[in-house]
Amino acid sequence: MLLVDLMRLPLGNRGNKTEQAGPTVLFLILSLLLGIGCAYYIALETFVLFVDLILNGIYFVFLGGEVLLSVFAAITFYNSVPV
């Protein structure tokens, strides 16, 4: 998950600074994959500590906010492209 997160953040940064929908959509896809990994650690892991639940819950909240904002940004970037 760390490697995916390290690839995801520069994509979102580049997509936001250049206002391109492509990197922003890739950022969104990688964020959804990380959400699946986070849900695995919360629900399907055999031995989960309480601190793991808290930290993964916080990560899940921030990841959800990033996904929501990236959807709005991708829509805005896609609509602002001149034809």
pTM confidence score:
0.86
Per-residue pLDDT tens over the stretch 34-49: 999 999 988 888 888 9
Per-residue pLDDT tens over the stretch 23-36: 999 999 999 999 99
Per-residue pLDDT tens over the stretch 56-80: 999 999 999 999 999 999 899 888 8
Helices (H), the chain: 2-18, 21-39, 50-79
**How far is CA 10 from each of CA 16, 42, 63, 65, 67, rounded to the nearest angstrom?**
10, 26, 15, 17, 15
